[in-house]
Amino acid sequence: MNWTAFDTSIVIVGALCAVACALPGCFLVLRRMSMMGDAISHAVLPGLAIAFLFSGSRASIAMFIGAAIVGVLTAVFTQWISKFGKVDRGAAMGIVFTTLFALGLILIVQAADHVDLDPGCVLYGAIELTPLDPIASISLGNTTLEIPRAAAVIGIVLLVNLVVITLFFKELRVSAFDPELSTTLGIPSQLMHYLLMTIVAVTTVAAFEAVGSIIVIAMLIVPPATALLLTQRLAIMLPLSAALAAAAAALGHLAAITVPTWFGFESTTTSGMMALAAGLLFTLAWLLSPNQGLLTKHSRHQNLSPE
Amino acid sequence: MKLHSPFALSRSLLVGIAGTVLLLLAAPSTEAAAPASHFHLPTPTELLEVLTLENHNTRIVVLSTTLLGITSGLVGTFLLLRRRSLIGDALSHATLPGIAIAFLIMVAAGGSGKFLPGLLAGATVTGLAGVLLVLAIRNTTKLKDDVAMGFVLSVFFGIGVALLGVIQKMPQASAAGLESFIYGKTASMIQQDFILITAVTLLTAILSLLLVKEFALLCFDEGFAAANGWPTLLLDILMLGLVTAVTVIGLQAVGLILIIAFLITPATAARFWTQNLRKMLVIAALIGGLSGWLGASLSALLPKLPAGAVIVLVAATIFLLSMIFAPARGVFPRYLRQSNLRRKVGRQHLLRAVYEILETNPHPLDKPVPNLPVPLATLQSHRSWSPKQLRKLLRTARKEDHLDPATHDTIQLSESGYGEAARVTRNHRLWELYLIRHADIAPSHVDRDADMVEHVLDANIVQQLEAELDSRDTAATVPPSPHQITPSHSPATT
């Protein structure tokens, strides 16, 4: 194995991204809306396409704004359909994101003569390439640290998420567990819902433009679900899921450059392995969680059973 | 980056929007929005050719998508009722590692790796594994379906991406084309694909129709099914197995997004039309088939409209229309029914209030209550109306000829208003008496309970109440109130 400054940089970007996703992800999991990240990352296609057609450039702030707007709209439309049509929220989400994706696909195909915009690869970044796009560099003694653009973008998003969740912790907690109580206490649970959806949409869009969508979808769900198997307290669940997410990012990159070599292949994609690492951490918690683990519960039952 | 003219920009935008909103009228409207030379209205001959499925290629595509739509409408109905619509999303992502593994195995065995049945078998295996994992997480932890599906989706897709990353760096085999599984290749389907789709969809449709009763039990009351000795886990696995079959076959034919939409949208649209499961299955199959047929035909008729996307948009349009207009559960008819009921309740409350005030006037007990003018102030304090609400109620009552003209601070019932008031009060009292006698509710508490039911009493129930309470002899009269009537401003102390 040959660990370079590149690898450190990739792990830092991945960990920042994982933590930024895991924090709002805790609330998504508690509100039973885990699939929102996946829905948003598909649904933003028309937003990207329209922004691209208007601005004519790929890495522009217009793309980000267009995607973020459509991301929030996905949440709004889902809420409308499930509220007014009395439709199951999962089904409403599915209808909204498939329709928006189809719309985006048609826009892109119609414009294909004039622009080159490929739904497969252009819209989603790759984490391996982030160190190649530095935005600034800091000199520390004789070493120069280059800060990738992705790290700066996701760092800002992470900071915003931290501030919002700290400021509205009480409100978000009450409205996640008991919307009726929250309304009775004078906390607008609808507003909290849309606040959460906005930070999820912005996080999703920022992260998948920088590092690819699979990391976003996995880190929104898997670390919070793992933390939920380990604790019953939201105040512990949030830092725990952040730590798990960061660990999954580091383990994932390590696995991406080592595991394939055992089978005689070269390295593989970091993003896929980060999702896999998060999945392995989940499996460990599923089996061994002190209170709820399958094996711990089994051995407890063994101890209880008569001799 | 190529520059493009504003004309090109607006053209593509307009075409996209026109294609979505005006699906049925797509031909003329896209023509109007796109005066580019290569964009022509299909001639009547072309139209006829597509509609009669004369062209062999079009026939295969249209028939395949129609069949897929019908079957996924059937299967999707069960998923919707089980609140598991997004399983198609998780499943279709979970097939990616299977495709990659099958490819690796076939290359290792010396093949090219592009043998379709092998790839499909791989997809089915990991798809089923994903589904079983969803069930295992749901049944052994406190996590809910949505988390389990999200977990399977992201982790399996992650594994798939990692495996593809390995494959792309393999020198001996080209992995190009594996991604076509993700986006589908609707327009280039061949006879073989069609036969495969026909076989799988027919089998799935027949199985799910044979198991309607068992699946319905599972959807509506899993606990009851288990208590009655039905193998619920096995049925659950079987149902998800059928979904896996449809997803894998659809993934290959029409792509990831379309198959997710096919499993969700027709069933959800059908839910607005009926409360009956069997009817819902038929309607969902019809909507799915119609979307597949119409979408594929439109895509064949007009250039540069990918079939998968058009089908999704047709289904979404049908969904939207169903959601707004469907008589059984649509938003608009439901709103009309609710506002009608609100008006009826308001009218009945007003009339009963007037009648109860009239009763307080001294009159011989064997004669009907005299119809005298009622002061507005008394009426206002009788129930907890706001002045604005009362004014609105009175305005409606005048329009319905329930009130006669009177002085500005009194009101008087018309003949029809008086009759209606007596009838409404009588229904209220009958229901109160019934509750006191047969439901053992204290006389001081029946008023509120009766208030909730009296507005929906129909003639049949009133007759039954009369028989029940032996009051046929007093059919024309209003029984006295079983409790003290107090204006809302001074609550009862009894």
Per-residue pLDDT, averaged over A104-108, amounts to 86
Instruction: Please name which of B167, B145, B164 lies closest in space to residue B89, comparing C-alpha atoms.
Output: B145
**Interchain CB contact of B258 with A (< 8 Å):** yes
Residues 123-162 of A with CB under 8 A from B: none
For A237, other C-beta atoms within 10 Å of its C-beta total: 22
pLDDT at B470 over 80: no
* A34–B89 CB contact, under 8 Å: no
**Interchain CB contact of A95 with B (< 8 Å):** yes
How far is A242 from A169, CA to CA, in rounded Å?
16
How far is A164 from A166, CA to CA, in rounded Å?
6
Name the token pair of A167: 């400021």
In the chain, the amino acid numbered B232 is T
How far is B107 from B169, CA to CA, in rounded Å?
14
> Residue holding tokens 């102390």?
B493
**B53, B291, B308 from B47: Cα distances, Å:** 10, 17, 20
Maximum distance among all Cα pairs of chain B, rounded to whole angstroms:
107
Confidence bin at B426 (pLDDT 50/70/90): confident
Residues 152-171 of B with CB under 8 A from A: 153-155, 157-166, 169-170
3-class SS shares of chain B: helix, strand, coil, % to 5: 70, 0, 25
Specify the pLDDT at position B181: 60
Confidence bin at A105 (pLDDT 50/70/90): confident
* Residue B318: alpha-carbon gap to chain centroid: 11
- How close, in Å, is residue A105 to chain B by CA atoms? 7
Instruction: Please name which of B232, B204, B205, B203 lies closest in space to residue B217, comparing C-alpha atoms.
Output: B232
In the chain, the amino acid numbered B206 is I
How far is A46 from A56, CA to CA, in rounded Å?
14
* A274–B158 CB contact, under 8 Å: yes
**Interchain CB contact of B141 with A (< 8 Å):** yes
3-class SS shares of chain A: helix, strand, coil, % to 5: 75, 5, 20
Instruction: Please name which of A133, A159, A123 lies closest in space to residue A46, comparing C-alpha atoms.
Output: A123
How far is A262 from B395, CA to CA, in rounded Å?
85
Q: Which residue of B has its CA nearest to A232?
A: B142
Which value does ipTM take for this structure?
0.91
Q: Mind listing the pLDDT tens digit for each residue in B354-389?
A: 888 888 888 777 777 888 888 888 888 888 888 888
Angle between helices B307-325 and B277-301 (to 10 degrees): 140
Residues of chain B with C-beta less than 8 angstroms from the C-beta of A85: 272, 323, 329, 331
**Interchain CB contact of B185 with A (< 8 Å):** no
Structural element, H or E, at residue B435: helix B415-438
pLDDT at A78 over 80: yes
> Residue holding tokens 């009775």?
A184
**Torsions phi, psi of A159, nearest 5?**
-60, -45
Instruction: Please name which of B297, B255, B257, B261 lies closest in space to residue B23, comparing C-alpha atoms.
Output: B297
Confidence bin at A266 (pLDDT 50/70/90): confident
Instruction: Please name which of B205, B219, B268 lies closest in space to residue B67, comparing C-alpha atoms.
Output: B205
Specify the pLDDT at position B37: 43
Instruction: Please name which of B207, B253, B345, B324 lies closest in space to residue B69, comparing C-alpha atoms.
Output: B253
**Interchain CB contact of B305 with A (< 8 Å):** yes
Q: Which residue of A has its CA nearest to B5?
A: A114
**Interchain CB contact of A110 with B (< 8 Å):** yes
How far is A40 from A106, CA to CA, in rounded Å?
18
Q: Mind listing the pLDDT tens digit for each residue in A162-187?
A: 999 999 999 999 988 888 898 888 88
How far is B47 from B52, CA to CA, in rounded Å?
9
- How close, in Å, is residue A154 to chain B by CA atoms? 20
* A265–B272 CB contact, under 8 Å: no
* A271–B261 CB contact, under 8 Å: no
> Residue holding tokens 């019934």?
B434
Kindly state the DSSP code that residue A122 receives in the 8-state scheme.
T
**Interchain CB contact of A50 with B (< 8 Å):** yes
Name the token pair of B12: 């593509």
Specify the pLDDT at position A87: 92
Residues of chain B with C-beta less than 8 angstroms from the C-beta of A38: 89, 150, 153-154
Name the token pair of A241: 């899921």
- DSSP per position, B229-277: T--HHHHHHHHHHHHHHHHHHHHHHH-HHHHHHHHHHHHHHHHTT-S-H
How far is B326 from B337, CA to CA, in rounded Å?
13
Q: Mind listing the pLDDT tens digit for each residue in A205-241?
A: 888 877 888 889 999 999 999 999 999 899 999 999 9
Confidence bin at B492 (pLDDT 50/70/90): very low
How far is A246 from A235, CA to CA, in rounded Å?
18
Helix, strand, or coil (residue B169): coil
Q: Which residue of A has its CA nearest to B308?
A: A102
* B310–A278 CB contact, under 8 Å: no
Q: Which residue of A has its CA nearest to B305?
A: A106
How far is B122 from B178, CA to CA, in rounded Å?
12
Question: Cα A211–A138–A158 angle (5° rounding)?
Answer: 40
Name the token pair of B342: 């609100």
* Cα Rg of chain A, angstroms: 21
* A221–B169 CB contact, under 8 Å: no
Q: Mind listing the pLDDT tens digit for each residue in A125-167?
A: 678 777 777 777 766 666 666 788 888 889 999 999 999 999 9
